[in-house]
Each structure stands twice: as C-alpha cells, then as structure tokens.
Chain A
Amino acid sequence: MTAEIGQVFLILALLAALYQGLFPLVAAGAGDAGLMRTARSAALVQGLLVAAAFAALTVAHATSDFSVRNVVENSHTAKPFIYKLTGVWGNHEGSMLLWALILAGYGAAVALLSKRNALTARALAIQGLIAAAFLAFIIFTSNPFARVFPAPADGQDLNPLLQDPGLIIHPPFLYLGYVGFSIAFSYAVAGLISGRIDEDWARAARPWAMAAWTFLTIGIGLGSWWAYYELGWGGFWAWDPVENASFMPWLAGTALIHSMRVLEVRGAFKAWTVLLAILAFSLSLVGTFLVRSGILTSVHAFATDPERGLFILLILVVFIGGALLLFALRAHAMSSDAAFNAVSREGGLLVNNVVFVASTATVFIGTFYPLFVDVVSGEKLSVGAPYFNIVFLPFMAFALLIIAPASALAWKRGNLKDAVRRVAPAALAGLAALVLALWLASPKTIAAAAGAGLAAWAGAGVIADFVRRVRLFETHAGARVAALPKSYVAMTIAHLGFAVVAIGVLGAGVWKSETIAYAREGDTISVGGFDATLTTVREVQGPNYRAEVSTFAVARDGKALPDMTAERRFYPVRGMQTTEAAIATDLGGDLYLTVGEFNAERGWVVRAWRHPLTLWMWIGAGLIAAGGLVGIGIGERRRVAAPSSAAQAAAA
C-alpha cells in the first residue's frame, strides 16, 4: 500500500507543480494579486506532497518491502538500518526523488520567507514549472514505486562502497547546493519577464544564491573527504566527469555571488548577473544530464538509459534554451548608470568573474571534449586529471595572487597602492612559505613552491587586512571586531578558507610520500618519518560482511603513537570486496595505511602514505562554507552611489 500511496502523492505533486507553474505567471501579468498569492499555497502544498512521497519510499526501504523494485535492487534485510534509510538515495530513482524533494523544499521556503510581491510570484511559478518537469520525468521514466511480482525473499543489497557514513551526508548537501541554484534561476527568469533587474531584485535573490553556494561547498567538500578515506590511496579529486558536473556550478556560483554583490551595492552588472544566475543552474541541469544519460563514462554514473537521457535533454532545451532566449530578447534593455574606475572594488569583482567564468569554461570544455570529438569525427580521446591540473591551476594561482589586495580596494574609486600597502606584510609570509617549501618539501618543484608562496600570501593578506581594519593590537579591539559589518566578516572568513584549501591541496596532492611492501606480523613499514608495525591480523564477522582486521603499532621518531586498524571486508550478497584504510590525522598531515591481498610466500601487501596538510583542506572548505553561511544573512541597505532622484527632489 505504501508504494501506491507514494505514487498518488507524486501525481498530486505534479498537479500542484503545474498549477504553481502556470496560474501565478498569468496572474502576475494581469496584476491579479489574489491569484498571485496562490503561488505561495501551491508551493507549500507541492512541498508537502513530494515530502510525503519521499516518506513513503523511505518507509518501503526501512521496512524492507521487497515488493517494491527499488528496494529489491538496492537493499537487503541484513543491511544496517542507517543504510536502509540513506540507501533511498543511493540509486537513480531514489536520488531523483531527493532532487524533486529539495526542489520543492526550496520553493516552499521561498514561499514562506520572501516578500509577497509580483517578483516572488513569478519566481515561484518558474520554480513550479521546473518541478513539474522533473516530477514528470520521475513518474514516466524513473518511477521509484514500481512493483515487482512475485516479491523476492530478499534484495540485492546496496553496493558496499555506498554503505558508508559518506552516503548519509554527501548527496543531500550536494543536492541542496546545485538544486538550490534553481531559485536564483527562477528569480532571473522572473526578473527578465518583468523587465526589472535592480538592487531590490538582487536583495531578494542573493540570499538564496548564497545558501545554495554554501551547501554546494559543503557537498563538494564532503565528497572529496569521502573519496579520500574511501578509495584507499588518499585521492580526493580525480576530475571525473561527475565530479566536474558538481564543480562547474560551484565555479559559476562563485562568480554569481560576487557579481550579485556589485548589483546589490551599486546597481551595476545587471545583465551579467542575470546571465550567471541562469548559467549556474544550467550547469546543474547539464550535470544531471551527464550523470544519468550514459553520455560519458564515470565511476559515479548511475545505470544509464538513453531514453532518460532524451527526456532530460528536453528539459534542458526548454528551460536553459527558454531562459537564454528570454535573455537575448530582454537583457539588452537593462543598463545601469553606475560609474566606477577600473581600479576599484567593482573592478576587482569583475576580474573575479573573468577568472571564475573562464575556469568554468575550461572545465566544461575538458569534460565534454571527448564527446565533441567523437560526434564530429568518431575518434576516441581521453581528457583526464593530468590535463585539468595543468590548465585549471593557473586560474586559481592568479586568484590567490590578487584576492587579498583586490578585497581591500574601495568601491567606486579604489587606490591600488593603498590596498597593496594594507596587505604588504603578507608578502613576507609568502616569501617564507616559498623558501620553506623549497627546503622541507618533496618533491621540490618550482610550481609547488610558488603555489605555497601564493597561498601564504593570500591567507596572510586577508589576515593582515583584518588586523589593520580592527586595529587588533590597540585597545578596545574587541568592540571594533564586534562592530564589523557582516559582509566583511563573511568575505574575510571565506577568502581565508580559500587560501587554506590551497595549501592543503598542495600538501595532500603534491608533497605526499608512499611506501609499498610485503609484511608479515611483526614487520615494520616506514613512511614520511613514521614507523608502522603490523602486530595482528584477525577475522571478524560484521552485520553483512566478513572482515580481516589488521592492527598496527605506530611510532614517530621512536615515540609511540596510538595503534591503527585497517580492514578488508567481503560482502557475500553482492560478492564485492572493499578495503578500509586506517587514518591518523594531525595538523601536519595524515598517516594512511591499507592492507591488501595475502601472498602465502611473502605476507600481506601493506601500503603506507604520509599525506601532509590534509586536514587543512577540510578546515579550509569549512571556512569557505562558514563565510557563506554568514553571508546569507547580509541585509545591508548601504548604497555607494549618488543620492537617489527622490532625495534630490525632496532637497530641491
């Protein structure tokens, strides 16, 4: 019964979404306030219905209802309960329902929290149309409530790689991120329809763009972290097409939130901001297409089906094509009279936009190039991590170079000398880091050392500006810190996070050391100044797996450290084996151990890594997200422009 109830809720949700999509648009055009208000109710109702459908699917999984095909294909009675619940989104149909839930949830949130006006009504309508499209996609091509007769006694279990805490949090945050950009998209289209893109529009849309961007930052950070401890060798970013699918909206989103700031404060960058708002969600949609259509191979891709691919492509054409067509017709009429020097905060933000949009384009071209060439000439190419690292990192290096002085520039007319002088002490930090990197790190490459110098320059520059601004070392500094505008706090924390991530990536990506050897009980493996001695290996029975547990005694320069445990697990239902790494973390880096196959003559294969500064990556990502979180709540009405004409008339 649960599945049928879920099915009904889905269909009702589709109807609500269609209503939400059509009536408010008509109403807003006719100026009918009463009908416009129904947008709000429709959004709330739709949200509740999709939530109910999602709950129904969750109940089916939780109770191991094997008459539902989705449960059979992805669950098993012996699967730990938490993974029964979170396994709901560990497959194509369930994750699409999560997509729809979050889409509806954002719509409901806008309905509850936003001002009731024509803009909101139109934005909710667009949101409703998007929701309707995806609900139709789910109902007609990816129904999670399909039944299977006769119901088998047990299911096929979930892929062991997904039976992991990472599955509990990574997909939800990721979706909260790139589905969240749908709101900025809806506001953009709504603004284009009404012809009004101004400070008020930016004030309404920016918190939602900021929220989506913050969640996406967390989602990507979690994904990297999960890959890091999950995959078994400390890799955290592979430039896999699906990873790129989440990264491109983030890059475009970064440009968007910066551009929106200019629009909000100065009324400039109108057309550009609208285009970015459309672009961010468009990239989310393209990412969804990529993952679920079979068009590219990827370790992350769900089971693929060209029919589904065609449906999603249609959604892309209607929404992205429609929005961009509207942009072509309407945006040229939008202009602003804000004037500013090239050297100014606005100029700096413009450079930010160039860097982030160019890097988005770079990742996009690299990701889709094999497809382009295949379609044009049938030739097969691969574009992998080595390419992306070469072409992408220079953009980030440039960003690190200018981020500190650019953030110190004044609005309208900035003084470059002044700005640089404010952050000048940081140059020492940069130089020190460069020298340290060349001296201590291995391998000693110029590129890595330069990267370290830039990251330190950026981070220290942000701190230097903060210290100078609050006059940290004079009396009553605490009061000045408390009086800082939220926008400044958000910016400082996020920018600092960016520099911290950069140094973490250098450490964990470039400066790692590795030892691979055979070991028996009693043997010691050394890496990066650490000694790990394999003490015992024993068999253990888990809930739905058998494990071989290896314990290591660890010491560093003779001093003993806590023991570490690595596992090898075998999941009989799926017939899959997984390896669990042992990781010991400190600020200087991670010690990372895995135990592999047993060779009767030589012992176990033990792999040991020292990944320096790994923790800094996660801390940095957290800081960026924290900055974003603070930034959601910015509500400044401060305007840096000539007095408005109303004020002038009043003064005359």
Chain B
Amino acid sequence: MKRLLFVIPVAAFVALAFWFAAGLGRDPGYIPSMLINRPAPQFALPPIAGRARGFASDELMDQVSMVNIFGSWCASCEIEHPVLMEIAAEKIAPVYGLDWKDKPGAGAAWLGKRGDPYAAIGDDADGRVAIEFGVTGAPETFIIDAEGRVRHKHVGAITREDWRRVLKPMIEDLKKNAPAAD
C-alpha cells in the first residue's frame, strides 16, 4: 500500500508530459471567434473619404459575402491586398471592407495607390464595429452567409492557398445551400 504512494509522482508526471506534448502543436494566442453561427453585428458605417457610399449590415442579407478588416497602417494587409484583388475579380462573392482605426483619408489614399477590391467600405475610425466583430488585429476576414450569420473567421492575410483550399469551397457551398431569395 505504501509503495503505491511512491508511484504517484511518476504517474502524475507521465500524465503531465502527455499534456505538454499535446499542447506543443497548439497556438496559445489563437482565439476562436465567438460569432460563428451567430448573426453578424448590426451597424451602419459612414463612407471613407472620397466615396459616396458607406457600408451597413443590412447589405449582408440575402447573399454570401466576405467582410475584410484592413487599415493603411497594417503591414500584413499590404501583403494580402493583391490576393483580395484577385478574389474580387473572380466575382464569386462580394468583398466588403472595414477601414479600421485609420486617420481620415488614409484608407482612401492607400486604396488609391493599390486598387479597390471592395464592393463597399465602412469607415470604422473609432474601432467600435471591429470590437463587435471580436477583431484582435488586421487583417481578419469573415464569411457571412445569406441569412446574415457569421460562418467563418480567417485570421491574418489570406493567401492564394487559403482561398483555394478553404474559403472558396466554403463560399460556394454556402451559396448552393442558401434559401432562395424571395
């Protein structure tokens, strides 16, 4: 009986080692989205400088779309931009933009130099809408289904791989299963 007590430390350690091993592959900083399968937040954002049209959440209804959070200050958005242009050109789903925490005019100038992939852009200067989306950095992209629910969150720049293997199939799938518009 007493011998059993002495086995406890090594047994506990073995369990711990397995836990550590399992933990090695994970990213401790990755936070899954709270919005998955929930309705997208309601908002109505003004346009960015030089545009007439802003971006409101009712545009997300009755179509499958993507919402991309970006900013002129964001280095990874720079890297993602050409891919977004290609995605927009494919015309599979509209890409909406949320200009996050940008100084007035900065977002428009940034897009002017690089091209504009967005169907509409909302100016989220105070970052409140981004908080509603649970955004923790740029770029982040959400896939919204035809009923206005968030179905997927992509953290970081979208690569051509990501589009081909994950995002595009998901969007096409959602479009197929979308209820017919009245």
Q: Are A and B in contact, CB atoms below 8 Å, in the complex?
A: yes
Q: Which of A316, A328, A372 has the most CB of B within 10 A?
A: A328
The closest CB in chain B to the CB of A335 belongs to B2
Q: Are B2 and A332 in contact (CB under 8 A)?
A: yes
Q: Which of A282, A295, A332, A368 has the most CB of B within 10 A?
A: A295
Q: Are B10 and A374 in contact (CB under 8 A)?
A: no
In the complex, what residues of A have CB within 8 A of residue B165's CB? Answer: none
The closest CB in chain B to the CB of A301 belongs to B28
User: Quick one: which of B44-83 are within 8 Å of A by CB?
Assistant: none
Question: Taking the complex as formed, is B3 at the interface, i.e. its CB lies under 8 A from any CB of chain A?
Answer: yes
A370-405 interface bits toward B, Cβ cutoff 8 Å, 1 = contact, 0 = none: 111011001010000000000000000000000000
In the complex, what residues of B have CB within 8 A of residue A372's CB? Answer: 19
Complex CA distance for A328 and B7, rounded to whole angstroms? 5
The closest CB in chain A to the CB of B3 belongs to A332
How many residues of A sit at the interface, in one of the four size bands?
Answer: 20 to 34
Q: Are B14 and A297 in contact (CB under 8 A)?
A: no
In the complex, what residues of A have CB within 8 A of residue B21's CB? Answer: 310, 313
Report B176 CB to chain A, min CB distance, Å.
28
In the complex, what residues of B have CB within 8 A of residue A321's CB? Answer: 10, 13-14, 17
Complex CA distance for A374 and B5, rounded to whole angstroms? 29
Main secondary structure of the interface of B (DSSP, over half): helix
Complex CA distance for A222 and B7, rounded to whole angstroms? 38
A-B contact count (CB 8 A): 68
Q: Are B29 and A297 in contact (CB under 8 A)?
A: yes
Complex CA distance for A644 and B44, rounded to whole angstroms? 88
Q: Are B22 and A375 in contact (CB under 8 A)?
A: yes
In the complex, what residues of B have CB within 8 A of residue A295's CB? Answer: 20, 23-24, 26, 28
Question: Taking the complex as formed, is B9 at the interface, i.e. its CB lies under 8 A from any CB of chain A?
Answer: yes
The closest CB in chain B to the CB of A378 belongs to B32
Question: Taking the complex as formed, is B181 at the interface, i.e. its CB lies under 8 A from any CB of chain A?
Answer: no
In the complex, what residues of B have CB within 8 A of residue A282's CB? Answer: 13
Question: Taking the complex as formed, is A317 at the interface, i.e. its CB lies under 8 A from any CB of chain B?
Answer: yes
Q: Are B23 and A374 in contact (CB under 8 A)?
A: yes
Question: Taking the complex as formed, is A331 at the interface, i.e. its CB lies under 8 A from any CB of chain B?
Answer: yes
In the complex, what residues of B have CB within 8 A of residue A332's CB? Answer: 2-3, 5-6
Given contacts A372-B19, A375-B22, contact A324 B28 (CB under 8 A): no
Complex CA distance for A224 and B127, rounded to whole angstroms? 35
Complex CA distance for A386 and B70, rounded to whole angstroms? 34
Complex CA distance for A353 and B73, rounded to whole angstroms? 54
Report A270 CB to chain B, min CB distance, Å.
12
Q: Are A328 and B10 in contact (CB under 8 A)?
A: yes
Question: Taking the complex as formed, is B131 at the interface, i.e. its CB lies under 8 A from any CB of chain A?
Answer: no
Complex CA distance for A372 and B14, rounded to whole angstroms? 14
Q: Are B24 and A316 in contact (CB under 8 A)?
A: no
Complex CA distance for A321 and B18, rounded to whole angstroms? 12
Complex CA distance for A317 and B14, rounded to whole angstroms? 8
- Give the interface of A toward B (CB within 8 A): 271, 275, 278, 282, 289, 293-297, 306, 309-310, 313, 316-317, 320-321, 324-325, 327-328, 331-332, 368, 370-372, 374-375, 378, 380
Q: Can you list 28 A-B pairs with a CB-CB distance of less than 8 A? A: A278-B9, A293-B24, A294-B24, A294-B28, A295-B23, A295-B26, A296-B28, A297-B28, A310-B21, A313-B17, A313-B21, A316-B17, A317-B17, A321-B17, A324-B13, A327-B10, A328-B3, A328-B6, A331-B6, A332-B2, A332-B6, A370-B28, A371-B28, A372-B19, A374-B23, A375-B26, A378-B32, A380-B30
